[in-house]
Structure 1
Amino acid sequence: MIVATPTDFLDAFATLAPLPSATATARGAFLVAPADFSLAAESARDNRYMAMEQSVDPLRALAQHQALAQALRADVPVIVFPGDATTPDAVFPNNVFGTAPDTLVVGRMRHAVRQREAERTDIRAFFGELLGYDEIDLSGCDNLVAELTGSLVIDRARGIGYCGLSERCDLAGAEAMHRAFGLRLTYAFELAPGEYHTNVVFALLAGRAAILAADGFADPAVPQAIAQAYGNRALWLSPAQKQAYAANAITLSEDRVWMSAVAAASLTGEQRDALAGWGFRLGTVDLSEIEKAGGSLRCCVGEIY
C-alpha cells in the first residue's frame, strides 16, 4: 500500500505490528572508497549541500573514509569496495545499491555521472555470485528516478518506507522501490523545495525513534505524523543542525547512532540526553572532507540485510 496523506499514513501504521522475523538494523555494511576524490558539477545542479567553492584533499578524504570503515566495525562486519577514478565522487553507494533479505536492488540515478556507478560488476557479483542474492535492477528504467535509501528511509522492523519526492525520486520510482524492497507500506510525500534526499532531513533510529528536520518537508504535517507514529520520540533539528548533517545518521546496532563529528557537535545537551534516554550511544567520525561532496555518514553506508 502506498499512501500520501498524514491521516492515511497514521491509520495504516496503526495496523502494522513489527514483523516477527525482521531485524531493525543491518547484519553488515558496505562502503566504496574514494579514488581521486573530487566534486561533480553535474550532481551540484540539485544538491545545495555541495561545497563547490571549496577545494578538496583526496588523501584526507581517503583517510577519513578508512577511519569510518574501522569505526563501524565495532557494530557490524564492513566490506569496502575500491573506488573508481572515473566516478571520483562515488562515495555514497546507498543511493545506487540497496538490499532486502536475499535481494540486491540497483537504483535508477538521475545524473549520468552517477548512473555509471550502477554498472559496477564487482558489487553485483559480490551479492549475486558470492551471497546468492537475487537482483532487481531499476537502473535501466528510463521512466522513473529512484535513488534508493537516499530517497527512501525504511523501517525494516515493520516493512514501512518513507519516500521523499524530489528531482532524485518521482512517484514511479517510489512505487518501484516499494515493490523491490518488499515493503508493506510506503508513505510518499514531497520534500521542501531545494531538498534532494530524504536521508538528509530524516533518520529512523532502529525502528523506535526519529531525527527530523521539519523545514526539509514541503508539508509540516508530514514530520509531525512520523513523530506521532513513533510515540513522539523525535529529535527536532534546527535549520543549522540540518545543514550540519545531523539527520544524516544511521543505526547499525540497537544501541548506537552514528553521525559525523560536525553533526554531533551541532547537537544540544538536551538532544544528547534524549538519545541516551531512548537507549542510544553516540558514535562519531570526522568526515569534514567527504561532506564537501554534499552527503555525510549515512550516505556513505550501504546496508546488508
Structure 2
Amino acid sequence: MCQSGVATWAAASLGRAFSSLPEPVVHATAALEENGITLRGGHEDETLLISLPQRPFAATASLPEEVAKSIAGSAKRVAVIRPAFLPFDEAQPLLNEVLAPLGTSAVALAAHTQQPAQRLLVDEYTRGSGGSFALQTPATELATYLNRKFMRVALVPDVAQAFAAAAAAGRPEAKTTLPNSLAGVTKLRSMQSTNNVLMVAPTAFGFNEQAAQDNSFMHAADKPQESSSLTAKVCAEFAELHRQLTDVAGVNVKLFQHHLRHGTPDAVFPNNWFSTHAAGEAAGGVSRPTLVLYPMKCPNRAAERRPEIIQVLRQAGYERVLDMSGHEKRDKAYFEGTGVLVLDRVNGVAYVALSERADRKLAEAWVHSLGYKELVAFSSSDGRGKPVYHTNVMMAIGTDVAVVCADSVTDPKERQHLLSKLSQSHEVVQISSAQMDALCGNVLELQGGKGLPVMAMSSQAYHAFTPQQRAVLRRHVAELVHAPIDTLEKVGGGGVRCALAELF
C-alpha cells in the first residue's frame, strides 16, 4: 500500500509466536541519489547516506562547511560512512561498492562488510537552523544503523550485481528470477531463516540406547556409569553454545530443561518432534501459521512431546496444528521433523533422505498438507554403508547457500537431481563423507540480532570446513557462529542444527 510514493512496511517482529508487542508499522524507502543513498525510515525525516571524498578518521562535531553546502533537497539528517579498521594508507571503499538501494525499504549490503577487519561505521549528523549539520550519533556499525532505520537488508556477495538484478526484475518484460535474499527483501516473501528458536538444555542428558540402533554418529560414553559427570560436561558445552547464539549472534532463544523423570535422554534435540511454519512459506503454499507434531521411532524420543511444552507452543498463536504423531502406533511409520526434512522454505521444496525415520508416504502427505511445491526424496548412506538416519546431517539449506554431501547419495540419477535442484536457487558447497562425519552438514542459518543471516555450527564442523568452503559460506552470511560441543556430538550423535527448533 503506497502513500505519497512512500510504501508502508511492517518491520520484522522479535518473533510472532512469542512477542506480545504489535509489529510497528513504519514508512521506509531507499533511493539512489546523485551524491548518496536516501533512506526514509520510521517516523524520522529522510537521511542521506554518503561517503566523503576524503576519508575521515573520526567523527567531527559538525560536517565540513563545503559538504553541508553541497547537500541539496529535504534531507535533515546526513549519515557518513567510514571504515573502522582499514590501515591509514588504504583508500576507503566507494559507497556503491558496499551498499545499493533495492527499491522500497530495501538495500543490498556487501557481505564482506561483516568481516571484522572490513566493518564500516556511520556518523549521523542533523541539520540545524543555519543549514549546518551537527553530530548526533557517532560510530554506529553500518548493519546496526540500517536495522535501526527499519531497512530490510539483503546480504549479497556483489552489490553491483544485486542492484542490476533488482532493476532488471522490476521491468514489465522481466523473466529473470531474483536470488532468494533479494526476493525476500524486495517482495516481502517468506524468509528462509528466523531469529527465534526453542532449545532444551541437556540437564538430564544420557546415552540413548534406543536411538543408537540406527544412528552411527553416536558413541557410548567411555565411562557410562559416570552419568552425572557426563551430563555436567554436556551442560557446560551447551551453555557456551547458548552464549554464542544469544550474546554474540543476537538470536532469541526460548530455553527449556528436562529431568530424569521425563525419561528423555535426547531431549536436547527438539527439532525432531515439532516444527513451525509461517503463513506465506513455500511461495505462499502455507496458508496459515502452522505447528506440526511428528511421529518418532524411539519411545523415549516420543516422550519428548511433553504436554507443557506443547501447550506453550499452542498458545503462541499457531492457527493450525497438524498432529502426525498417531502414525507411531497406528502404522509404525515415522517422520522425525526437521531432522528428516531439510526445507527450502522460500521456494517450497522439501528434501528428504529416506530411512527408518523418514517414511516416504508420510513425506508425501506432509508436502501435500503443508502446501509445498515439490518433494525431493533420495537414499543416502554414510561411509560405513549404513543409511543416514537424518537428512540434516548430510545437507543444509540457507537463503542463498546450501551444504550437501552428494557422495552419500549412491544412486547417480538421485544425486544429479538433488544437485540440479539445489543449484537452481543456491550456491552449493559440497562436503566429503569425512566432513559429514564431522557434522559439517548439520548447520543452520538463523537471523542474527542485526537482521542479517548467520550460520550456526559446532566448532568441530567449523574447523572441518576448508578455508575455501568457509569463504563461500561467508559470501552469504554475516557470521559463522560456532561453539565446541564435542561430547554432545560424540555421545548424542547430533550437532548444533539438531539442537535448534526454529520458531516462525
TM-score, normalized by length of structure 1? Answer: 0.87
Q: Does 1:276 align with 2:479?
A: no
Aligned residue in 2 for 1:263: 461
Q: Residue 53 and residue 256 in structure 1: after superposition, are their counterparts in 2 closer, same or farther (change >3 A)?
A: same
For the residue of structure 1 that corresponds to 2:460, the secondary structure is helix
Aligned to 2:107: none
User: 1:138 aligned to 2:324?
Assistant: yes
Q: For 1:142-291, what aligned pairs fall within 5 Å after superposition? A: 142-143=330-331, 144-192=333-381, 193-206=386-399, 208-229=400-421, 230-231=423-424, 233-253=427-447, 254-291=452-489
Q: Could you tell me which amino acid in structure 2 is paired with residue 285 of structure 1? A: A
Distance of 1:84 and 1:139 partners within structure 2: 23
Which residue is equivalent to 1:58?
Answer: 231
1:114 aligns with 2:289: no
Secondary structure at the counterpart of residue 70 of structure 1: helix
Equivalent residue of 1:80, what SS? Answer: strand
**Which residue is equivalent to 2:217?**
49
How big is the shift at 1:54?
3.0
Q: CA deviation at 1:226?
A: 3.5
* Partner SS state of residue 296, structure 1: coil
d(CA) in 1 for partners of 2:245 and 2:434? 26
Q: Is the 8 A contact 1:210 1:227 kept in 2?
A: no
Write the distance in 1 (CA, Å) between the matches of 2:212 and 2:477. 37
Residue 221 of structure 1, CA deviation = 4.0
Aligned pairs, number: 289
Local SS of the residue matching 2:304: helix
Alignment partners' CA distance in 2, 1:79 and 1:34: 14
User: Which deviates further from its counterpart, 222-231 or 127-136?
Assistant: 222-231
Distance 1:126 1:182 in 2: 25
Distance (Å, rounded) in 1 between the aligned partners of 2:337 and 2:355:
13
Q: 2: distance between equivalents of 1:67 and 1:131?
A: 31
Report the CA distance between 1:219 and its aligned residue.
2.1
Give the Cα–Cα distance (whole angstroms) in 1 for the partners of residues 480 and 297 of structure 2: 33
Runs of at least 4 residues of structure 1 off by over 4 A? 17-20
Give the alignment partner of residue 191 of structure 2, picking from 15, 18, 23.
23
The answer to whether the Cα contact below 8 Å between 2:192 and 2:344 also exists between their aligned partners in 1 is yes
Question: Retained in 2: the 8 A contact 1:214–1:220?
Answer: no
Residue type at the aligned position of 2:192: A
Structure 1 or 2, whichever has the larger Rg, is 2
- 1:84-103 CA deviation, whole Å, 9 max, x = no partner? 32212221110101111221
**Structure 1 letter corresponding to 2:269:** F
Structure 1 regions of 5+ residues with no counterpart?
1-13
- Any conservation in 2 of the 1:146–1:177 contact (CA below 8 Å)? no
Following TM superposition, by how much is the alpha carbon of 1:289 offset from its aligned partner in structure 2, in angstroms? 1.5
Is residue 234–residue 485 contact of structure 2 (8 Å, CA) maintained in 1?
yes
Structure 2 unpaired stretches of 5+: 1-176, 279-288
Percent identity for Structure 1 against Structure 2: 31
Q: Indicate whether 1:78 and 2:253 are aligned.
A: yes
Give the whole-Å Cα distance in 2 for the aligned partners of 1:109 and 1:227. Answer: 29
1:271-293, Cα deviation, whole Å (9 max, x unpaired): 12222234453111111111121
SS in 2 for 1:154: strand
Could you say what secondary structure the match of 1:31 adopts?
strand
Give secondary structure in 2 for the equivalent of 1:146. coil
Query: Which structure shows the bigger proportion of residues in helix conformation?
Result: 1
Contact 2:197 2:501 in 1 (8 A): yes
Does the CA contact (< 8 Å) of 1:94 and 1:150 recur in 2? yes
Rate the CA distance shift 1:224–1:284 in 2: closer, same or farther, 3 A.
Answer: farther
Partner of residue 3, structure 1: none
Q: Would you say the 8 A contact 2:457–2:496 is kept in 1?
A: yes
Give the equivalent residue in structure 2 for 1:100. Answer: 277
- The separation in 2 between residues aligned to 1:22 and 1:227, in whole angstroms, is 23
Q: Report the AA paired with residue 194 of structure 1.
A: P
Distance 1:195 1:278, change over 3 A: same
| Cα distance in structure 1, aligned partners of 2:477 and 2:326 | 42
Q: 1:284 to 1:224 in 2, by over 3 A?
A: farther
The structure-2 alpha-carbon separation of the partners of 1:28 and 1:198, relative to structure 1 and needing over 3 Å to count, comes to same
Displacement, 1:300? 0.3
